[in-house]
Structure 1
């Protein structure tokens, strides 16, 4: 079976959540999933649920903090580049049916690695490996090579009214 490239992008909420939903679906079908998170370094509730009950899903984080607010540090860049190197090995190994590159578009946006490097990693995958790339600011060249692109559009968001993230809902 051929694996495709999916991109979930846009300013709306739900990109990571959609990717996790696909990971759970794939695990339910007996598929092996590698969930790589760039930029993010905090523990999220989904990590705890996956660790407790979904051994088919491996989660690795390649970020030092929850978010890069202004400019990436040298440590941020090194963590992301190490992550991309590991992910390239995972993609070419054929060991996983689904590989999710969460916030890889943000990593490109913050110049942690280039869009060309990301695309080379994706193109190194085994034929059967499905790849999902998430994050705002998907580059035109990434969109071009993708087979499916979904844009999450913010229509209304309660953050604008001062609501902070809630455990179990946003993190």
Structure 2
């Protein structure tokens, strides 16, 4: 089933914010004002008390709108509880509205990085896109296993796996290596059966009706 255009339009029309230049190429863009602050206070974070005594694995999937939106809502709630959050976006790049909101309002709580090449859907290049996804995966895994974060959200990682840029074993490894106190959220269409079986919570968002089919494009502040 084709991916609706509005979901990934940011990869085509929004300019990327490049802060780092890893060897893999286009992966690992950090949102200014968020990750820099995290680096400054890294030593203090190693000493903090864990906010969760037991974390879970959540999966948001399905062909309906709202998976990333739900994850952002959870991040808002977690920030309100004083949690430290890592937000990694696969398949996406650009200065989106959510990136701006996190920078302006949750910069004290959120480390955000984007791993998309900008062309996975509109100008795919297998070698480039796989390199970006792999480099992003390693960054996300390092953040997860570090134990620094109470909540780790990996947006669209399920799509990256479905397209073959990552293997299902990569996702299962994240679930196996997740620290006990960390909540892990995986989003995107086409969640693999093995991932859903292993998760503690699976929400499938189904499309009943969508204005996209009436020709309404992605709108800033609503879809991007």
TM range (shorter): over 0.9
Aligned residues: 171
For 2:18, the equivalent position in structure 1 comes to: none
Unaligned runs of 5+ in 2: 1-52
- Greater shift in the superposed pair: 65-74 or 100-109: 65-74
Q: 1:149 to 1:73 in 2, by over 3 A?
A: same
Whole-angstrom CA distance in 1 between matches of 2:172 and 2:70: 21
Whole-angstrom CA distance in 2 between matches of 1:151 and 1:66: 26
Q: TM-score, normalised by structure 1?
A: 0.96
**Which structure is richer in relative contact order (CA contacts within 8 A, separation 6 or more)?**
1
Q: TM-score, normalised by structure 2?
A: 0.74
Q: Per-residue deviation at 1:25?
A: 0.5
CA contact (8 A) 2:119 2:125 kept: no
Whole-angstrom CA distance in 2 between matches of 1:123 and 1:109: 20
- Per-residue CA deviations over 1:114-164 (Å, capped at 9, x if unaligned) read 011111023212110000000000000000110000000000000100000
Q: Which runs of 4+ in 1 moved over 2 A?
A: 69-73
- Per-residue CA deviations over 1:17-37 (Å, capped at 9, x if unaligned) read 000000010011000000000
Q: Which is greater in Rg?
A: 2
Paired residue secondary structure (1:96): coil
Whole-angstrom CA distance in 2 between matches of 1:42 and 1:13: 20
Whole-angstrom CA distance in 2 between matches of 1:13 and 1:56: 26
Structure 2 residue 92 is the aligned partner of structure 1 residue 3: no
Structure 2 residue 169 is the aligned partner of structure 1 residue 116: yes
Structure 2 residue 198 is the aligned partner of structure 1 residue 130: no
Unaligned runs of 5+ in 1: none
More strand by share: 1
Which of 18, 40, 45 is the matching residue for 2:92?
Answer: 40
Which of 88, 104, 122 is the matching residue for 1:52?
Answer: 104
- Per-residue CA deviations over 1:53-108 (Å, capped at 9, x if unaligned) read 10201110000217524745311111110111111111111000000010011000
What is the root-mean-square deviation of aligned Cα atoms in Å? 1.3
